[in-house]
Each structure stands twice: as structure tokens, then as C-alpha cells.
Amino acid sequence: KNEVEQSPQNLTAQEGEFITINCSYSVGISALHWLQQHPGGGIVSLFMLSSGKKKHGRLIATINIQEKHSSLHITASHPRDSAVYICAVRERGGSQGNLIFGKGTKLSVKP
Amino acid sequence: GAGVSQSPSNKVTEKGKDVELRCDPISGHTALYWYRQSLGQGLEFLIYFQGNSAPDKSGLPSDRFSAERTGGSVSTLTIQRTQQEDSAVYLCASSSHWTEGYTFGSGTRLTVV
């Protein structure tokens, strides 16, 4: 069993829809990252959080440490949001860089 | 620089040859990370440098892999006696503090033939 599980693996949405991507993990963590990988391969760090909720523009990330679960929400989705979204965790006691990655959720937003 | 710069962007090498991959982090970023993404696989951690501290090498897959970071800035990832399973995109990232998000480079696509 993977230590970081994402769902769904693939997601197709219509422009304007509210989107939720889920991440569950099985280890104790000190931080969780959400990353965005565009079709060209470039990776952008969206959020790093250890508790609660963060918001940036149309993106919202939440984490529930007790339930070992995080969600990434996209409001008013747009075709330019089409990308692979990757969840990664830093295991508690591990080094800052030693992240465990999920396999990603491929999002396609249709106009 | 404005971002994390990696070179070369693409590298094709023959099996058994050594390769060096370079990463220029954002100026002032004390933390530098190497990851790789193999075809059909997720991202995996390779090595992490923080300032002058000893690097965390726990992700290096074999002793053919090594990395150094000179002067707290530029880093070089070296793969000796390359094998076909080393083919992947090698990604470098940097950050200014452990509470900060990471800035990723565009990666080096390594193909071993």
C-alpha cells in the first residue's frame, strides 16, 4: 500500500465547476505539499501546510491531521487549471527534503 | 537568478558512461533538493542540502549516484556507469526556509541508450 494515496486518479470537469482532489496518507507528518505539474512538465509549488487551511486565489488547501487527510479545492475552474496535481508529505522526524509523493491526479477542464 | 536553472535540459548518453547534471538554485536559497521522475512513476526524493550541514543522501538509489554543492550554491548530481533504469527527468528545487514552498527547475531529461 502506498503511503500517500490520491483520489481520483483522473478527473474531467467543465469550466466553472468546483473541483476537489483528495490526499490520504498513512504516516505521521510534519508538513504536506500540493504541487502542480503542467503538461510541459514544469512543477509549481502551490501550498505547504501543516494544519488548518490555506487559500491562494481560486485554490484552497485543507488538512486534517487527525484523519490524515488533505484536500485541494479549485473554485470556478478554468481550462488553464488542467494539469497533474501532486500531494507530497514530509514524514515526521524526516529531513525537510525527504518527501513521499502521491502518484498525482490528472485534471482536465473542458471549455 | 530569477528561478532555478538546470542544465542540460536534455541528455542522451550511452549505457556505462558517466553524466553530470547541474542545478543553479535561486540566489540566497539555503536549501537545495534533487528529485527524479521516471516514466510512469511518481516523483522520488534523491538528496537534500541545507546550508553547511551534512546532506541527507538517504534517497540515492545506489552508490553510482553522488551529489555535491559547492559554496552553498550550485549543485552537481553525478551518475556513474549509467544504466537504462536511470532514464528519468531529474528535478532540482530550492527554498529559502523550511517553512517556505519550493521553487522547481525545469528538469533534465536523461535518456540512457
User: What's the rounded mean pLDDT across residues B2-8?
Assistant: 93
- The ranges of chain A with pLDDT < 50 are none
Q: Cβ B42–A102 below 8 Å, yes or no?
A: yes
pLDDT in tens, B18-38: 999 999 999 989 999 999 999
Q: Give me the percent of chain B exceeding a pLDDT of 90.
A: 78
pLDDT of B99 above 70: no
Give the pLDDT of residue A98.
87
Residue A78: CB atoms within 10 A of its CB come to 13
- Partner residues linked to B43 by β-bridges: B37
Tens-place pLDDT, residues B69-91: 988 799 999 999 999 999 999 99
Q: Are the C-beta atoms of residues B92 and B76 closer than 8 Å to each other? A: no
Question: What residues contact B92, with CB distance under 8 A and at least 6 apart?
Answer: B4, B6, B23, B25, B32, B33, B34, B35, B75, B77, B104, B105, B107
Q: Which of A42, A48, A86 sits opposite B43 (nearest CB)?
A: A86
Q: Over 70: is that where the pLDDT of B98 sits?
A: no
Determine the distance in angstroms separating the CA of B47 from the nearest CA of chain A, rounded to an integer: 7
Residue B48 near chain A (CB below 8 Å): yes
- Assess whether pLDDT exceeds 80 at residue B1: no
Determine the Cα–Cα distance for residues B20 and B33; give it in Å rounded to an integer.
16
* Cα dihedral B35→B40→B41→B46 (10° resolution): -20
pLDDT at B69: 94
Q: What stretch of H or E contains A29? A: strand A29-37
Chain A residues with CB-CB distance to B77 below 8 A: none
Helices (H), chain A: none
What pLDDT score does A26 carry?
95
d(CA B36, CA A108): 24
- The confidence band for B51, taking pLDDT boundaries of 50, 70 and 90, is confident
Q: In what order do the strands lie in the sheet with A52-56?
A: A4-7, A19-25, A69-74, A59-64, A52-56
Residue B42: predicted pLDDT: 86
Q: Work out the minimum CA distance from B80 to partner chain A, whole angstroms.
A: 23
Q: Which residues contact B82 (CB under 8 A, 6 or more apart)?
A: B13, B14, B15, B16, B17, B18, B19, B64, B110, B112
